[in-house]
Amino acid sequence: MARKKIALIGAGNIGGTLAHLAALKGLGDVVLFDVAEGIPQGKALDLSQCSPVEGFDAKITGSNDYNDIAGADVIIVTAGVARKPGMSRDDLLGINLKVMKAVGEGIKTHAPNAFVICITNPLDAMVWALREFSGLPHHMVVGMAGVLDSSRFSHFLAEEFQVSVKDVTSFVLGGHGDTMVPVISYSTVSGIPIPDLIKMGRSSQEKIDAIVQRTRSGGGEIVALLKTGSAYFAPATSGIAMAEAYLYDQKRVLPAAAHVTGQYGLDNLYVGVPVVIGAGGVEQIVEIALDDEAKANLAVSVDAVKELLVACKAIDGSLG
């Protein structure tokens, strides 16, 4: 059987880390695409030179030509710019929206059968726009945020309870950003819900509230430390988990920015919900019962996403 082909649009920090992980995990041949000349070629050469040491056969190539993504099975999009000091959210939106247009058209022409995972921020708006520009079926375009957000949440919870991360399951809904909704009642340590652990005296509501807040601003905490650039190891790891779910038909239940069609009372937008990812792409959206607090928080988060979509439509009139 021919090796699978993974196209990475954007060969920056996340793109390079995605390529490294894809090669180490043997997911398939990797094409790194970027508009910057030399960057994808240089990273591809450097990564190819890992292969004798690591013993992987994957071919890693760099390109500035969309023809080279032809036939990709999975495409992971990180192209764009990160917000810089002095740049408004609308400035960022305008720049990355143009990038999504170019990327969407490239995918439409050269790899319309791929499963597409978008990572570019502001995530919920960019994945929606990428889907609109590419014209791919909604179930084949998904945004990566929830896996990362819940991984951050789980990491902090494992530290708080002093248990293995393997035993922590956490649940995050809503948009990616300050309004994301970590759902405490569905977050567990080996099946024991967090509220029960609080009752057992293993932690306190105040400590869990602080962890929720730290999770919400998890990206910002890293930006403040790095000073130049934003997180890339955990975002790349999270994107790869979603790619594996598709390539290996794992039917994993993962939180992801998916297109909702009535679920949670929401229609025709992308927002973070639990989904099943398998060979059919986003095969299901899982609708769970939410308590009043989670419902109210989700409504706030969805309003923030809707505002972004209004701003996108104002910037680019072709977006219906």
- Residues forming the site for ligand APR (CB under 6 A): 9-15, 34-36, 39, 78-80, 82, 99, 102-103, 119-121, 229-230, 232, 235
Element (H, E) at 122: none
The type of residue at 46 is D
Distance, CA of 165 to CA of 171 (rounded, Å)? 14
Question: Are 33 and 8 contacting, i.e. CB atoms less than 8 angstroms apart?
Answer: yes
Strands 181-182 and 172-173: antiparallel
Sign of CA dihedral 222, 227, 230, 231: negative
Cβ nearer to ligand APR, comparing 8 with 194: 8
CB 3, min distance to ligand APR, A: 24
In total, the chain counts a number of residues equal to 320
CB 276, min distance to ligand APR, A: 24
CB 96, min distance to ligand APR, A: 6
Query: Is 110 considered catalytic here?
Result: no
Cβ nearer to ligand APR, comparing 168 with 231: 231
Sign of CA dihedral 106, 112, 118, 121: positive
- Strand locations in the chain (E): 5-9, 29-33, 60-63, 74-77, 115-118, 141-143, 168-169, 172-173, 181-182, 188-189, 192-193, 252-261, 267-278, 281-285
Distance, CA of 113 to CA of 246 (rounded, Å)? 13
| DSSP assigned state of 71 | T
Residue 231 labeled ligand binder: no
Cβ nearer to ligand APR, comparing 7 with 189: 7
Residue 12 labeled ligand binder: yes
Residue 89 labeled ligand binder: yes
Residue 120 labeled ligand binder: yes
Cβ nearer to ligand APR, comparing 10 with 255: 10
Cβ nearer to ligand APR, comparing 33 with 153: 33
Q: Residue with the closest Cβ to ligand APR?
A: 12
CB 317, min distance to ligand APR, A: 20
Residue 13 labeled ligand binder: yes
Question: Are 30 and 19 contacting, i.e. CB atoms less than 8 angstroms apart?
Answer: yes
Q: Which of 110, 138, 155, 176 is catalytic?
A: 176
Residue 75 labeled ligand binder: no
CB 64, min distance to ligand APR, A: 9
**3-state class (DSSP) for residue 51:** helix
Please state the residue numbers annotated as binding site for substrate: 83, 89, 121, 152
Residue numbers belonging to the annotated binding site for NAD(+): 10-15, 34, 96, 119-121
Which residues carry out catalysis?
Answer: 176
